[in-house]
Amino acid sequence: MSTLAIAPSTHELVLGRYRPVRPLGSGGSGSVWLACDERTGLDVALKIIPREGKAAARAEREALAARRLRHERCVRAYDVGHDSTHVYIAYEYVAGRTLRETMRMEDLSDDDAVEIAAQVLDALAHAHRTGIVHRDVKPSNLLLEEGDELAVRLLDFGLAQFDGADTLTAVGDVPGTLAYIAPERLAGAEATPESDVWAVGVLLWETLAGRHPFWGVPLQEVARAIEAGAPPLVSERRDLPRRLLAAVDGALARDPGRRPRASALASELRNALRTGGVRPAARRPQATEAGATGAHLLVRRLVPPSLAGVSAALGATMLPFWPPALVAAIIISSALAAWRLPRVGFAIALAAPIFPLGNVAESAAVLYGILALAWLAFTWRDARFGLLFASGPLLAPLGLLALVPLVVQPARGVVRRTAQAALALLAATLYAGVAGDDLPLTGASASRLDITPQASVGEIADVMWEAALRDPILLLGAGALGLAAAILPLARRRSRYG
């Protein structure tokens, strides 16, 4: 059923308290709207399901499961009700995107992939203790919260099974998504907590290997491939620690009795993360999942080395007397390093301006080094896109600084996006001053900075601050770009609750 077919009126209250604002998304079971709870003033995600066939019973079952769960990794259900045509579930509104969307848009680092799985297992362990089996754990039912810290929410308990409750599926039905269903369920066995653990094992294998363990075969043979079991992860990732490989393989044991409990697997994954030296995902093959075309993957793969090369070029060419061969070597080494090891390429590109600045004043190089280290630490978990601010010096001469908020959107978290956009204008200003070009926004000639070779770090900082105050439009512009980068996702966000 289409979203329009069950679109509520924005002028009437649903269940006497929820005012629909705008649609968030739709799925096979119905649609989800952002709504305002007129009684509490809170935003909620209002799920609307038509009362047709089994859909209404599953919706009420979903609400019952969600209301029983009280865990930070489970989306809470505040209320459930119905009228003659629809069932309504009011969930807490959580801004973010699904794991499937994230996998299509960017490469997850190995440590992020492991932590995501561990957080999902935390949620499942809580559900299992309350007698609930999810039965449909998959990337599109996992929501990564908007923000700087990695936080996962488990969605959609519409297929959940309760201890002692009647099943809603007919004899022979296998509810859930085939690619993540455990082999014993294909044989007709009931879903168990171990079935959920299998699903987490599949998605962890997928995120670490860059492909799904059971894709690549004709659809009619997928069930046979699942029954045969997933290949050992070591066949795809020999570089991973043995402890992590063993944990993933244990979750994918064909015998459900040999799989660990969700809580035990979460602990083992985190221990492997702490002791095994898990490396960034740039070393693993690229995903071949549906919806991610070869061209899209190539563009995504080229972003970090391109950013590193451009940033290194901007820094290395600040002094015109450097030999072209040396400049080329810095650019190439930075780009190649970013291709294989994004954090290494990131560090090389950030270090490129140190020597040119040292020719102006040693303290200038020291001050820049301190700021570069702070930026490196700030964006370390998002190193693939840590150099997006380098778009500023490229776009400013073309009069295209307004595109900066869009360019920095791949950065993770509103704080990082805001900082990247603001820094893009400041970097463009600094580069224009060094190169003798007109300043962005104002078009004025860059004021000469009164920096002597003997100046201290504090004196240089004072000079830079005074120069910024002379042109307050630049600081205001940086703030405006940062604000635009922060609020842009609000206009485009489509949370997938449906």
Indicate which residues carry an active-site annotation: 136
| 3-state secondary structure string across the chain | CCCHHHCCCCCCCECCCEEEEEEEEEECCEEEEEEEECCCCCEEEEEEEECCCCHHHHHHHHHHHHHHCCCCCECCEEEEEECCCEEEEEEECCCEEEHHHHHHHCCCCHHHHHHHHHHHHHHHHHHHHCCEECCCCCHHHEEEECCCCCCEEECCCCCCEECCCCCCCCCCCCCCCHHHCCHHHHCCCCCCHHHHHHHHHHHHHHHHHCCCCCCCCCHHHHHHHHHHCCCCHHHCCCCCCHHHHHHHHHHCCCCHHHCCCHHHHHHHHHHHHHHCCCCCHHHCCCCCCCCCCHHHHHHHHHHHHHHHHHHHHHHHCCCCCCCHHHHHHHHHHHHHHHHHCHHHHHHHHHHCCHHHHHHHCHHHHHHHHHHHHHHHHHCHHHHHHCCHHHHHHHHHHHCCHHHHHHHCCCCCCHHHHHHHHHHHHHHHHHHHHHHCCECCCCCCECCCCCCCCCCCHHHHHHHHHHHHHHCHHHHHHHHHHHHHHHHHHHHHCCCCCC
